[in-house]
Chain A
Amino acid sequence: MKKDFLIQRSNECRKEILKMVYNASSGHIGGAFSAIDIMVYLYFEKMNFSKNNFTDINRDRFILSKGHASAALYSCLAFKEIISFEELSGFRKIDRMLQGHPSRKTTPGVETSTGSLGQGLSFANGCALGLKIKNINSKTYCMVGDGEINEGQFWEALMTSARYRLENLRVILDYNHLQIDGKIEEIKNPSPSRERFESFGFYVIEINGHNFDEIEKAFTEADLIKRMPVFIIAHTTKGKGVSFMENNVDFHGTPPKKDEFERAMKELENA
Protein backbone atom coordinates (compact mmCIF):
# COMPACT_ATOMS: atom_id res chain seq x y z
CA MET A 1 0.00 0.00 0.00
CA LYS A 2 1.26 3.43 -0.94
CA LYS A 3 0.13 5.07 2.26
CA ASP A 4 1.64 8.49 1.65
CA PHE A 5 0.00 8.61 -1.76
CA LEU A 6 -3.39 7.69 -0.29
CA ILE A 7 -3.09 10.32 2.45
CA GLN A 8 -2.24 12.89 -0.18
CA ARG A 9 -5.07 11.74 -2.48
CA SER A 10 -7.59 12.00 0.37
CA ASN A 11 -6.42 15.52 1.05
CA GLU A 12 -6.77 16.40 -2.63
CA CYS A 13 -10.26 14.89 -2.70
CA ARG A 14 -11.28 16.86 0.39
CA LYS A 15 -10.19 20.07 -1.34
CA GLU A 16 -12.26 19.18 -4.42
CA ILE A 17 -15.27 18.33 -2.25
CA LEU A 18 -14.95 21.62 -0.40
CA LYS A 19 -14.76 23.55 -3.69
CA MET A 20 -17.72 21.67 -5.14
CA VAL A 21 -20.01 22.32 -2.21
CA TYR A 22 -18.89 25.93 -1.91
CA ASN A 23 -19.43 26.58 -5.64
CA ALA A 24 -22.81 24.88 -5.61
CA SER A 25 -23.85 26.66 -2.40
CA SER A 26 -25.30 23.32 -1.35
CA GLY A 27 -24.33 19.73 -0.76
CA HIS A 28 -23.13 17.54 2.05
CA ILE A 29 -19.59 18.11 3.27
CA GLY A 30 -19.64 16.41 6.66
CA GLY A 31 -20.61 12.96 5.43
CA ALA A 32 -18.33 13.24 2.39
CA PHE A 33 -15.35 13.99 4.64
CA SER A 34 -16.14 11.09 6.97
CA ALA A 35 -16.39 8.67 4.03
CA ILE A 36 -13.57 9.83 1.77
CA ASP A 37 -10.60 7.98 3.29
CA ILE A 38 -12.22 4.57 2.80
CA MET A 39 -13.38 5.54 -0.68
CA VAL A 40 -9.88 6.67 -1.61
CA TYR A 41 -8.47 3.37 -0.35
CA LEU A 42 -11.02 1.41 -2.42
CA TYR A 43 -10.71 3.46 -5.61
CA PHE A 44 -6.95 4.02 -5.58
CA GLU A 45 -5.61 0.91 -3.90
CA LYS A 46 -8.06 -1.94 -3.67
CA MET A 47 -10.58 -2.12 -6.46
CA ASN A 48 -10.21 -3.38 -10.00
CA PHE A 49 -11.85 -0.27 -11.42
CA SER A 50 -10.28 2.13 -13.87
CA LYS A 51 -11.03 4.42 -16.77
CA ASN A 52 -10.32 1.46 -19.04
CA ASN A 53 -12.61 -1.08 -17.43
CA PHE A 54 -15.35 0.78 -15.57
CA THR A 55 -18.04 -0.79 -17.75
CA ASP A 56 -16.52 -4.27 -17.91
CA ILE A 57 -18.53 -7.01 -16.26
CA ASN A 58 -15.39 -8.11 -14.37
CA ARG A 59 -14.81 -4.83 -12.57
CA ASP A 60 -15.18 -4.42 -8.83
CA ARG A 61 -18.12 -2.24 -7.88
CA PHE A 62 -18.55 0.47 -5.26
CA ILE A 63 -22.10 1.47 -4.41
CA LEU A 64 -22.51 4.64 -2.44
CA SER A 65 -25.80 3.89 -0.73
CA LYS A 66 -25.41 7.07 1.31
CA GLY A 67 -25.80 9.07 -1.88
CA HIS A 68 -25.63 12.35 0.00
CA ALA A 69 -21.84 11.98 -0.04
CA SER A 70 -21.94 12.33 -3.84
CA ALA A 71 -19.20 14.97 -3.87
CA ALA A 72 -16.80 12.40 -2.39
CA LEU A 73 -17.68 9.96 -5.16
CA TYR A 74 -17.28 12.58 -7.89
CA SER A 75 -13.87 13.63 -6.58
CA CYS A 76 -12.72 10.00 -6.81
CA LEU A 77 -14.13 9.63 -10.34
CA ALA A 78 -12.28 12.78 -11.40
CA PHE A 79 -8.95 11.52 -10.06
CA LYS A 80 -9.69 8.20 -11.77
CA GLU A 81 -9.99 10.24 -15.01
CA ILE A 82 -13.49 8.89 -15.64
CA ILE A 83 -15.00 12.37 -15.42
CA SER A 84 -13.09 15.60 -16.00
CA PHE A 85 -12.12 18.05 -13.25
CA GLU A 86 -13.96 20.68 -15.25
CA GLU A 87 -17.18 18.75 -14.55
CA LEU A 88 -16.69 19.19 -10.80
CA SER A 89 -17.48 22.90 -11.19
CA GLY A 90 -20.91 21.90 -12.50
CA PHE A 91 -21.85 19.98 -9.34
CA ARG A 92 -25.60 20.42 -8.67
CA LYS A 93 -26.00 22.78 -11.63
CA ILE A 94 -28.50 22.68 -14.49
CA ASP A 95 -27.46 21.05 -17.77
CA ARG A 96 -24.43 19.44 -16.10
CA MET A 97 -23.81 15.79 -15.33
CA LEU A 98 -23.12 15.86 -11.60
CA GLN A 99 -26.50 15.62 -9.91
CA GLY A 100 -26.99 16.45 -6.25
CA HIS A 101 -27.18 12.74 -5.58
CA PRO A 102 -25.48 10.12 -7.77
CA SER A 103 -27.27 9.45 -11.03
CA ARG A 104 -26.29 6.46 -13.09
CA LYS A 105 -27.81 7.82 -16.30
CA THR A 106 -25.92 11.10 -16.29
CA THR A 107 -22.55 10.26 -14.77
CA PRO A 108 -20.12 7.62 -16.03
CA GLY A 109 -18.63 5.48 -13.31
CA VAL A 110 -21.69 5.75 -11.05
CA GLU A 111 -22.96 2.21 -10.51
CA THR A 112 -26.55 3.12 -9.75
CA SER A 113 -28.60 6.09 -8.66
CA THR A 114 -28.77 6.53 -4.91
CA GLY A 115 -29.91 9.18 -2.50
CA SER A 116 -33.28 7.81 -1.51
CA LEU A 117 -31.76 6.15 1.51
CA GLY A 118 -31.75 2.50 2.47
CA GLN A 119 -31.80 1.03 -1.03
CA GLY A 120 -28.14 0.65 -1.97
CA LEU A 121 -27.45 -2.55 -0.07
CA SER A 122 -30.32 -4.36 -1.81
CA PHE A 123 -28.84 -3.27 -5.13
CA ALA A 124 -25.37 -4.39 -4.02
CA ASN A 125 -26.80 -7.78 -3.01
CA GLY A 126 -28.26 -8.13 -6.49
CA CYS A 127 -24.85 -7.33 -8.03
CA ALA A 128 -23.02 -9.75 -5.74
CA LEU A 129 -25.54 -12.53 -6.20
CA GLY A 130 -25.72 -11.96 -9.94
CA LEU A 131 -21.93 -12.09 -10.21
CA LYS A 132 -21.93 -15.36 -8.29
CA ILE A 133 -24.54 -16.81 -10.66
CA LYS A 134 -22.35 -15.77 -13.58
CA ASN A 135 -19.22 -17.18 -11.93
CA ILE A 136 -17.52 -13.81 -12.04
CA ASN A 137 -15.04 -13.38 -9.28
CA SER A 138 -15.24 -9.64 -8.62
CA LYS A 139 -16.20 -7.86 -5.44
CA THR A 140 -19.04 -5.54 -4.56
CA TYR A 141 -18.49 -2.83 -1.94
CA CYS A 142 -21.40 -0.93 -0.47
CA MET A 143 -21.11 2.04 1.86
CA VAL A 144 -24.04 2.93 4.10
CA GLY A 145 -24.45 5.80 6.53
CA ASP A 146 -25.31 5.46 10.20
CA GLY A 147 -28.29 7.76 9.78
CA GLU A 148 -29.34 5.88 6.66
CA ILE A 149 -29.74 2.63 8.56
CA ASN A 150 -32.86 4.04 10.20
CA GLU A 151 -34.46 2.78 7.00
CA GLY A 152 -36.09 -0.63 7.34
CA GLN A 153 -35.03 -1.79 3.91
CA PHE A 154 -31.39 -1.82 5.03
CA TRP A 155 -32.22 -4.51 7.59
CA GLU A 156 -34.19 -6.50 5.00
CA ALA A 157 -31.12 -6.35 2.78
CA LEU A 158 -28.80 -7.54 5.58
CA MET A 159 -30.90 -10.69 5.83
CA THR A 160 -30.56 -11.21 2.09
CA SER A 161 -26.74 -10.81 2.19
CA ALA A 162 -26.50 -13.44 4.90
CA ARG A 163 -29.14 -15.77 3.44
CA TYR A 164 -27.15 -16.10 0.22
CA ARG A 165 -23.75 -16.10 1.98
CA LEU A 166 -22.43 -13.28 -0.17
CA GLU A 167 -18.72 -13.60 0.54
CA ASN A 168 -18.07 -11.34 -2.46
CA LEU A 169 -19.81 -8.46 -0.69
CA ARG A 170 -18.37 -5.97 1.80
CA VAL A 171 -20.67 -3.56 3.57
CA ILE A 172 -19.00 -0.51 5.08
CA LEU A 173 -20.79 1.53 7.71
CA ASP A 174 -19.67 5.15 7.90
CA TYR A 175 -20.26 5.46 11.65
CA ASN A 176 -19.89 9.20 12.20
CA HIS A 177 -22.61 9.47 14.84
CA LEU A 178 -24.49 12.38 13.26
CA GLN A 179 -27.53 12.66 11.03
CA ILE A 180 -29.22 15.81 9.85
CA ASP A 181 -31.40 16.34 12.93
CA GLY A 182 -28.64 15.56 15.41
CA LYS A 183 -26.89 12.65 17.13
CA ILE A 184 -27.98 9.24 15.88
CA GLU A 185 -28.26 8.04 19.48
CA GLU A 186 -30.80 10.77 20.23
CA ILE A 187 -32.93 10.17 17.14
CA LYS A 188 -33.70 6.53 16.35
CA ASN A 189 -30.56 5.03 17.87
CA PRO A 190 -29.87 2.13 15.52
CA SER A 191 -27.06 0.92 17.85
CA PRO A 192 -24.74 -0.30 15.11
CA SER A 193 -22.71 -2.61 17.31
CA ARG A 194 -20.50 -5.54 16.33
CA GLU A 195 -22.93 -7.93 18.05
CA ARG A 196 -25.87 -6.60 16.09
CA PHE A 197 -24.31 -7.31 12.71
CA GLU A 198 -22.83 -10.60 13.85
CA SER A 199 -26.31 -11.68 14.85
CA PHE A 200 -27.44 -10.94 11.30
CA GLY A 201 -24.85 -13.41 9.99
CA PHE A 202 -21.97 -11.14 9.04
CA TYR A 203 -18.27 -11.40 9.73
CA VAL A 204 -17.66 -8.07 11.43
CA ILE A 205 -14.49 -5.99 11.48
CA GLU A 206 -14.22 -2.70 13.38
CA ILE A 207 -11.77 -0.04 12.33
CA ASN A 208 -10.87 3.60 12.51
CA GLY A 209 -12.16 4.70 9.12
CA HIS A 210 -9.48 7.38 8.76
CA ASN A 211 -6.46 5.17 9.44
CA PHE A 212 -5.13 3.63 6.23
CA ASP A 213 -3.26 0.87 8.07
CA GLU A 214 -6.48 -0.26 9.72
CA ILE A 215 -8.45 0.14 6.50
CA GLU A 216 -5.94 -1.98 4.60
CA LYS A 217 -5.88 -4.63 7.31
CA ALA A 218 -9.69 -4.86 7.33
CA PHE A 219 -10.12 -5.27 3.57
CA THR A 220 -7.26 -7.77 3.43
CA GLU A 221 -8.83 -9.79 6.21
CA ALA A 222 -12.19 -9.60 4.44
CA ASP A 223 -10.71 -11.36 1.42
CA LEU A 224 -9.96 -14.41 3.55
CA ILE A 225 -13.53 -14.89 4.75
CA LYS A 226 -15.51 -17.67 3.10
CA ARG A 227 -19.25 -18.23 2.86
CA MET A 228 -20.12 -15.11 4.85
CA PRO A 229 -20.63 -11.48 3.93
CA VAL A 230 -18.29 -9.03 5.65
CA PHE A 231 -19.43 -5.95 7.55
CA ILE A 232 -16.89 -3.26 8.32
CA ILE A 233 -17.87 -0.83 11.03
CA ALA A 234 -15.79 2.22 10.25
CA HIS A 235 -15.58 4.61 13.18
CA THR A 236 -15.35 7.99 11.55
CA THR A 237 -15.62 11.67 12.28
CA LYS A 238 -18.16 13.79 10.49
CA GLY A 239 -16.39 16.68 8.78
CA LYS A 240 -13.01 14.96 9.25
CA GLY A 241 -10.06 17.06 8.12
CA VAL A 242 -11.30 20.55 8.88
CA SER A 243 -11.16 21.36 12.59
CA PHE A 244 -14.28 23.50 12.86
CA MET A 245 -16.35 21.09 10.75
CA GLU A 246 -15.47 17.99 12.74
CA ASN A 247 -18.38 16.57 14.74
CA ASN A 248 -20.39 19.64 13.80
CA VAL A 249 -23.85 18.80 12.53
CA ASP A 250 -24.16 22.31 11.06
CA PHE A 251 -21.97 21.09 8.20
CA HIS A 252 -24.18 18.10 7.38
CA GLY A 253 -26.02 19.83 4.59
CA THR A 254 -25.16 23.51 4.89
CA PRO A 255 -22.45 24.90 2.62
CA PRO A 256 -19.59 26.90 4.14
CA LYS A 257 -19.69 30.69 3.97
CA LYS A 258 -16.86 32.52 2.20
CA ASP A 259 -14.66 32.93 5.28
CA GLU A 260 -15.33 29.35 6.35
CA PHE A 261 -14.40 28.13 2.88
CA GLU A 262 -11.13 30.07 3.02
CA ARG A 263 -10.26 28.86 6.52
CA ALA A 264 -11.10 25.28 5.58
CA MET A 265 -9.03 25.42 2.40
CA LYS A 266 -6.09 26.83 4.35
CA GLU A 267 -6.32 23.99 6.86
CA LEU A 268 -6.40 21.39 4.09
CA GLU A 269 -3.48 23.03 2.31
CA ASN A 270 -1.45 22.99 5.48
CA ALA A 271 -2.39 19.42 6.39
Chain B
Amino acid sequence: MPEKKSLRTEYGKTLVELGKKHDDLIVLDADLAKSTKTELFKKEFPERFFDMGISEADMIATASGFSSVGLKPFCSSFAMFLTGRVYDQIRNSVAYPHWNVKMVSTHAGISVGEDGASHQCNEDIALMRVLPGMTLLCPSDAFMTAHLTKKLYEYESYAYMRLPRNDLDVLYSENDSFEIGKSVVHKIGRDITIIACGAMVSIAKSTLLRFQSLGIDAGLIDMYSIKPLDAESLAQALNKSKALIIAEEHSVIGGLGSAVAQFSSERRPLPIAFIGIEDVFGESGFPDSLFLKYNLTEEAILKKGKMLYDKF
Protein backbone atom coordinates (compact mmCIF):
# COMPACT_ATOMS: atom_id res chain seq x y z
CA MET B 1 0.00 0.00 0.00
CA PRO B 2 1.35 3.46 -0.84
CA GLU B 3 1.97 5.84 2.02
CA LYS B 4 -0.87 8.26 2.76
CA LYS B 5 -0.60 11.76 4.19
CA SER B 6 -3.04 14.40 5.35
CA LEU B 7 -3.29 17.44 3.09
CA ARG B 8 -4.97 19.60 5.70
CA THR B 9 -2.30 18.83 8.30
CA GLU B 10 0.31 19.81 5.76
CA TYR B 11 -1.64 23.03 5.15
CA GLY B 12 -1.65 23.85 8.88
CA LYS B 13 2.05 23.04 9.23
CA THR B 14 2.91 25.20 6.24
CA LEU B 15 0.96 28.13 7.71
CA VAL B 16 3.15 27.84 10.81
CA GLU B 17 6.27 27.76 8.67
CA LEU B 18 5.10 30.84 6.76
CA GLY B 19 4.09 32.56 9.98
CA LYS B 20 7.63 32.28 11.29
CA LYS B 21 8.97 34.13 8.28
CA HIS B 22 6.21 36.63 7.66
CA ASP B 23 4.62 38.93 10.23
CA ASP B 24 1.87 39.97 7.85
CA LEU B 25 0.29 36.49 7.65
CA ILE B 26 -3.09 36.44 9.41
CA VAL B 27 -5.23 33.31 9.73
CA LEU B 28 -8.99 33.27 10.25
CA ASP B 29 -11.26 30.34 10.89
CA ALA B 30 -14.95 29.87 11.63
CA ASP B 31 -14.98 27.54 14.61
CA LEU B 32 -13.44 24.63 12.72
CA ALA B 33 -9.77 25.23 13.49
CA LYS B 34 -9.31 21.72 14.87
CA SER B 35 -10.61 20.19 11.65
CA THR B 36 -9.05 22.57 9.14
CA LYS B 37 -5.75 22.37 11.10
CA THR B 38 -5.41 26.13 11.35
CA GLU B 39 -5.21 25.37 15.08
CA LEU B 40 -1.53 24.62 14.48
CA PHE B 41 -1.09 28.28 13.54
CA LYS B 42 -3.29 29.37 16.45
CA LYS B 43 -1.03 27.59 18.93
CA GLU B 44 2.09 29.20 17.52
CA PHE B 45 0.75 32.68 16.76
CA PRO B 46 -2.37 33.35 18.87
CA GLU B 47 -2.08 37.12 18.27
CA ARG B 48 -2.40 36.61 14.51
CA PHE B 49 -5.15 34.02 14.59
CA PHE B 50 -8.80 35.03 14.64
CA ASP B 51 -11.54 32.56 15.34
CA MET B 52 -14.53 34.40 13.92
CA GLY B 53 -17.00 31.91 15.31
CA ILE B 54 -19.70 30.28 13.23
CA SER B 55 -20.10 33.31 10.99
CA GLU B 56 -18.37 32.68 7.71
CA ALA B 57 -19.83 35.75 5.99
CA ASP B 58 -18.32 37.98 8.67
CA MET B 59 -15.03 36.10 8.38
CA ILE B 60 -14.65 36.67 4.64
CA ALA B 61 -15.42 40.40 4.70
CA THR B 62 -13.27 40.93 7.80
CA ALA B 63 -10.41 39.30 5.90
CA SER B 64 -10.92 41.87 3.14
CA GLY B 65 -10.51 44.60 5.73
CA PHE B 66 -7.24 43.00 6.91
CA SER B 67 -6.06 42.90 3.32
CA SER B 68 -6.87 46.59 2.90
CA VAL B 69 -4.29 47.54 5.54
CA GLY B 70 -1.61 45.41 3.92
CA LEU B 71 -1.97 42.16 5.86
CA LYS B 72 -2.22 38.78 4.16
CA PRO B 73 -5.21 36.84 5.44
CA PHE B 74 -5.91 33.13 4.92
CA CYS B 75 -9.48 32.02 5.72
CA SER B 76 -10.45 28.41 6.32
CA SER B 77 -13.56 26.38 6.91
CA PHE B 78 -15.22 23.39 5.29
CA ALA B 79 -15.72 23.78 1.52
CA MET B 80 -19.47 23.87 2.01
CA PHE B 81 -19.36 26.88 4.31
CA LEU B 82 -16.38 28.62 2.72
CA THR B 83 -17.97 28.85 -0.73
CA GLY B 84 -21.70 28.24 -1.00
CA ARG B 85 -22.63 29.98 2.20
CA VAL B 86 -20.51 33.03 1.45
CA TYR B 87 -20.68 33.25 -2.30
CA ASP B 88 -21.88 36.85 -2.19
CA GLN B 89 -19.20 37.91 0.30
CA ILE B 90 -16.47 36.32 -1.84
CA ARG B 91 -17.90 37.95 -4.94
CA ASN B 92 -18.63 41.42 -3.61
CA SER B 93 -16.24 41.87 -0.68
CA VAL B 94 -13.21 40.01 -2.07
CA ALA B 95 -13.20 39.52 -5.85
CA TYR B 96 -14.97 42.67 -7.08
CA PRO B 97 -12.90 45.07 -4.94
CA HIS B 98 -9.88 42.82 -5.61
CA TRP B 99 -8.57 42.16 -2.11
CA ASN B 100 -5.74 39.74 -1.48
CA VAL B 101 -7.68 37.15 0.51
CA LYS B 102 -6.84 33.44 0.39
CA MET B 103 -9.60 30.94 1.00
CA VAL B 104 -8.49 27.40 1.77
CA SER B 105 -11.22 24.88 2.41
CA THR B 106 -10.99 21.41 3.82
CA HIS B 107 -13.61 18.63 3.73
CA ALA B 108 -14.32 19.27 0.05
CA GLY B 109 -16.25 16.68 -1.92
CA ILE B 110 -18.15 13.56 -1.01
CA SER B 111 -15.29 12.01 1.00
CA VAL B 112 -16.53 14.03 3.99
CA GLY B 113 -18.41 10.78 4.47
CA GLU B 114 -20.55 10.20 7.54
CA ASP B 115 -21.62 13.84 7.99
CA GLY B 116 -23.78 13.45 4.91
CA ALA B 117 -24.88 15.66 2.04
CA SER B 118 -25.29 18.85 4.09
CA HIS B 119 -21.51 18.85 4.54
CA GLN B 120 -20.41 17.28 1.25
CA CYS B 121 -19.64 20.11 -1.11
CA ASN B 122 -19.48 18.89 -4.70
CA GLU B 123 -20.20 22.32 -6.12
CA ASP B 124 -17.40 24.56 -4.84
CA ILE B 125 -15.25 24.39 -7.97
CA ALA B 126 -18.22 25.45 -10.09
CA LEU B 127 -19.06 28.31 -7.73
CA MET B 128 -15.54 29.68 -7.52
CA ARG B 129 -14.56 29.04 -11.13
CA VAL B 130 -17.18 31.42 -12.47
CA LEU B 131 -15.96 34.39 -10.42
CA PRO B 132 -13.94 36.85 -12.52
CA GLY B 133 -10.23 36.61 -11.78
CA MET B 134 -10.52 33.78 -9.28
CA THR B 135 -7.56 31.42 -9.01
CA LEU B 136 -8.58 27.89 -8.09
CA LEU B 137 -6.37 25.04 -6.91
CA CYS B 138 -7.12 21.44 -6.04
CA PRO B 139 -3.98 19.60 -4.92
CA SER B 140 -3.63 15.85 -5.03
CA ASP B 141 -1.11 15.16 -2.28
CA ALA B 142 0.38 16.56 0.90
CA PHE B 143 3.68 17.78 -0.55
CA MET B 144 1.85 19.58 -3.31
CA THR B 145 -0.42 21.16 -0.70
CA ALA B 146 2.53 22.49 1.27
CA HIS B 147 4.14 23.88 -1.85
CA LEU B 148 0.97 25.50 -3.15
CA THR B 149 0.22 27.04 0.25
CA LYS B 150 3.56 28.84 0.00
CA LYS B 151 2.79 29.87 -3.57
CA LEU B 152 -0.54 31.25 -2.42
CA TYR B 153 1.14 33.36 0.23
CA GLU B 154 3.37 34.91 -2.43
CA TYR B 155 0.54 35.34 -4.91
CA GLU B 156 -0.82 38.90 -4.75
CA SER B 157 -4.45 38.28 -5.50
CA TYR B 158 -7.48 36.34 -4.24
CA ALA B 159 -7.54 32.59 -4.61
CA TYR B 160 -9.36 29.45 -3.48
CA MET B 161 -7.78 26.09 -2.69
CA ARG B 162 -9.81 22.98 -1.82
CA LEU B 163 -8.53 20.11 0.30
CA PRO B 164 -10.15 16.83 1.26
CA ARG B 165 -10.86 15.53 4.73
CA ASN B 166 -9.08 12.24 4.15
CA ASP B 167 -5.42 11.42 3.78
CA LEU B 168 -4.34 10.82 0.20
CA ASP B 169 -1.60 8.72 -1.38
CA VAL B 170 1.79 10.40 -1.50
CA LEU B 171 2.48 11.08 -5.16
CA TYR B 172 5.28 13.62 -5.01
CA SER B 173 8.22 14.57 -2.84
CA GLU B 174 9.40 17.57 -0.90
CA ASN B 175 11.70 18.52 -3.77
CA ASP B 176 8.98 18.77 -6.40
CA SER B 177 7.75 22.23 -7.18
CA PHE B 178 4.35 23.34 -8.40
CA GLU B 179 3.34 26.60 -10.03
CA ILE B 180 -0.07 28.23 -10.20
CA GLY B 181 -1.36 27.72 -13.75
CA LYS B 182 0.73 24.60 -14.36
CA SER B 183 0.05 20.88 -14.08
CA VAL B 184 1.96 17.65 -13.63
CA VAL B 185 2.10 15.63 -16.82
CA HIS B 186 2.62 12.03 -15.72
CA LYS B 187 2.24 10.83 -19.29
CA ILE B 188 0.37 11.82 -22.44
CA GLY B 189 -1.54 8.78 -23.67
CA ARG B 190 -1.54 7.91 -27.38
CA ASP B 191 -5.12 6.76 -26.99
CA ILE B 192 -6.51 8.43 -23.92
CA THR B 193 -5.28 11.01 -21.43
CA ILE B 194 -6.97 11.21 -18.08
CA ILE B 195 -7.10 14.70 -16.62
CA ALA B 196 -7.69 14.54 -12.90
CA CYS B 197 -7.47 16.62 -9.75
CA GLY B 198 -7.48 16.02 -6.01
CA ALA B 199 -8.31 12.55 -4.74
CA MET B 200 -8.96 11.27 -8.26
CA VAL B 201 -5.33 11.62 -9.33
CA SER B 202 -4.02 8.57 -7.48
CA ILE B 203 -7.09 6.54 -8.48
CA ALA B 204 -6.52 7.50 -12.11
CA LYS B 205 -2.82 6.71 -11.82
CA SER B 206 -3.69 3.17 -10.76
CA THR B 207 -5.66 2.65 -13.96
CA LEU B 208 -2.73 3.30 -16.29
CA LEU B 209 -1.25 -0.20 -16.07
CA ARG B 210 -4.68 -1.75 -16.26
CA PHE B 211 -5.38 0.20 -19.46
CA GLN B 212 -2.07 -1.06 -20.83
CA SER B 213 -3.08 -4.67 -20.22
CA LEU B 214 -6.21 -3.93 -22.26
CA GLY B 215 -4.05 -2.66 -25.11
CA ILE B 216 -5.02 0.96 -24.50
CA ASP B 217 -2.26 3.54 -24.15
CA ALA B 218 -3.47 5.86 -21.43
CA GLY B 219 -1.82 8.88 -19.81
CA LEU B 220 -2.48 11.20 -16.90
CA ILE B 221 -2.28 14.92 -16.19
CA ASP B 222 -2.63 16.12 -12.61
CA MET B 223 -4.50 19.35 -13.30
CA TYR B 224 -4.23 20.81 -9.80
CA SER B 225 -4.57 24.35 -11.16
CA ILE B 226 -8.17 24.41 -12.34
CA LYS B 227 -8.10 28.13 -12.96
CA PRO B 228 -5.99 29.10 -14.72
CA LEU B 229 -5.73 25.79 -16.56
CA ASP B 230 -2.36 24.69 -17.92
CA ALA B 231 -2.99 25.41 -21.60
CA GLU B 232 0.35 23.93 -22.61
CA SER B 233 -0.15 20.47 -21.16
CA LEU B 234 -3.76 20.43 -22.30
CA ALA B 235 -2.66 21.25 -25.83
CA GLN B 236 -0.26 18.31 -25.72
CA ALA B 237 -3.07 15.99 -24.69
CA LEU B 238 -5.42 17.40 -27.31
CA ASN B 239 -2.82 16.97 -30.04
CA LYS B 240 -1.56 13.51 -29.12
CA SER B 241 -4.50 11.68 -27.57
CA LYS B 242 -7.67 10.51 -29.26
CA ALA B 243 -9.91 11.10 -26.27
CA LEU B 244 -9.91 12.49 -22.76
CA ILE B 245 -11.36 11.34 -19.47
CA ILE B 246 -11.85 13.94 -16.76
CA ALA B 247 -11.92 12.67 -13.19
CA GLU B 248 -12.82 14.87 -10.22
CA GLU B 249 -14.41 14.53 -6.80
CA HIS B 250 -16.95 17.19 -7.69
CA SER B 251 -20.13 17.53 -9.68
CA VAL B 252 -19.74 16.75 -13.38
CA ILE B 253 -21.42 20.13 -13.85
CA GLY B 254 -19.22 23.21 -13.73
CA GLY B 255 -15.99 21.67 -12.48
CA LEU B 256 -12.69 20.62 -14.04
CA GLY B 257 -14.60 18.64 -16.66
CA SER B 258 -16.52 21.67 -17.84
CA ALA B 259 -13.35 23.75 -17.90
CA VAL B 260 -11.46 21.22 -20.01
CA ALA B 261 -14.41 20.60 -22.32
CA GLN B 262 -14.71 24.33 -22.99
CA PHE B 263 -10.99 24.54 -23.71
CA SER B 264 -11.07 21.49 -25.96
CA SER B 265 -14.12 22.56 -27.94
CA GLU B 266 -12.40 25.79 -28.95
CA ARG B 267 -8.95 24.31 -29.66
CA ARG B 268 -9.43 20.78 -30.88
CA PRO B 269 -12.64 18.98 -30.05
CA LEU B 270 -12.05 15.45 -28.78
CA PRO B 271 -14.46 12.91 -27.33
CA ILE B 272 -14.49 13.44 -23.55
CA ALA B 273 -15.92 11.25 -20.80
CA PHE B 274 -16.64 12.64 -17.36
CA ILE B 275 -16.09 10.95 -14.00
CA GLY B 276 -17.62 12.87 -11.11
CA ILE B 277 -20.72 13.22 -9.00
CA GLU B 278 -23.75 13.12 -11.27
CA ASP B 279 -26.50 15.68 -10.71
CA VAL B 280 -27.32 14.38 -7.21
CA PHE B 281 -26.68 15.03 -3.53
CA GLY B 282 -24.52 12.61 -1.58
CA GLU B 283 -25.44 10.79 1.62
CA SER B 284 -23.89 9.51 4.84
CA GLY B 285 -21.49 6.58 4.62
CA PHE B 286 -17.83 5.63 4.78
CA PRO B 287 -15.81 7.58 2.22
CA ASP B 288 -14.66 4.41 0.41
CA SER B 289 -18.24 3.14 0.15
CA LEU B 290 -19.36 6.50 -1.19
CA PHE B 291 -16.61 6.55 -3.82
CA LEU B 292 -17.77 3.08 -4.88
CA LYS B 293 -21.47 3.98 -4.97
CA TYR B 294 -20.93 7.28 -6.78
CA ASN B 295 -18.51 5.79 -9.33
CA LEU B 296 -15.33 7.56 -8.34
CA THR B 297 -13.31 4.40 -8.94
CA GLU B 298 -10.70 2.77 -11.15
CA GLU B 299 -13.45 0.56 -12.58
CA ALA B 300 -15.56 3.55 -13.56
CA ILE B 301 -12.58 5.14 -15.32
CA LEU B 302 -11.73 1.87 -17.10
CA LYS B 303 -15.32 1.42 -18.22
CA LYS B 304 -15.52 4.92 -19.69
CA GLY B 305 -12.10 4.42 -21.28
CA LYS B 306 -13.15 1.20 -22.99
CA MET B 307 -16.31 2.84 -24.27
CA LEU B 308 -14.27 5.67 -25.78
CA TYR B 309 -11.72 3.25 -27.24
CA ASP B 310 -14.40 1.12 -28.86
CA LYS B 311 -15.55 4.16 -30.84
CA PHE B 312 -12.07 5.02 -32.20
Residue numbers of A with Cβ under 8 A of B are: 57, 103-105, 111-116, 118-120, 122-131, 133-134, 136, 152-153, 156-157, 159-160
A113-B96, A115-B92 provided; 12 other pairs, C-beta below 8 A?
Answer: A57-B70, A113-B97, A118-B57, A119-B57, A120-B61, A125-B65, A129-B50, A130-B68, A131-B69, A157-B58, A160-B55, A160-B62
Closest 10 pairs between A and B when the two form their complex, measured CB to CB: A126-B65, A122-B61, A130-B69, A156-B58, A156-B55, A113-B97, A116-B92, A126-B62, A104-B97, A127-B65
In the bound complex, CA of A12 to CA of B281 (Å)? 57
Among A103, A118, A136, point to the contact of B69 (Cβ < 8 A).
Answer: A136
19 cross-chain CB contacts under 8 A: A57-B70, A103-B97, A113-B92, A113-B93, A116-B92, A122-B61, A123-B65, A123-B93, A125-B62, A126-B66, A126-B73, A129-B50, A129-B66, A130-B66, A133-B47, A134-B71, A153-B58, A156-B55, A160-B62
Chain B, range 50-109, C-beta contacts under 8 Å to A: 50, 52-53, 55, 57-71, 73, 88-89, 91-93, 96-99
In the bound complex, CA of A105 to CA of B95 (Å)? 10
B102 CB → nearest A CB, Å: 14
Q: Give how many A-B residue pairs fall within 8 Å (CB-CB).
A: 109
In the bound complex, CA of A126 to CA of B73 (Å)? 10
Q: Does B48 have its Cβ within 8 Å of any Cβ on chain A?
A: yes
In the bound complex, CA of A39 to CA of B22 (Å)? 37
**Chain B neighbourhood of A129, CB < 8 A:** 50, 62, 65-66
B100-136 interface code vs A (CB 8 A; 1 in, 0 out)? 0000000000000000000000000000000000000
Residue from A113, A123, A127, A128 whose CB has the most chain B CB atoms within 10 Å: A123
Among B26, B64, B70, B91, point to the contact of A123 (Cβ < 8 A).
Answer: B64
In the bound complex, CA of A254 to CA of B26 (Å)? 43
In the bound complex, CA of A156 to CA of B60 (Å)? 12
B69 & A57 in contact (Cβ 8 Å cutoff): yes
B69 & A116 in contact (Cβ 8 Å cutoff): no
Known: A125-B62, A127-B69, A130-B69. A112 touches B57 (CB 8 A): no
**Chain A neighbourhood of B50, CB < 8 A:** 129
A159 & B88 in contact (Cβ 8 Å cutoff): no
Chain A residue with minimal CB distance to B98? A105
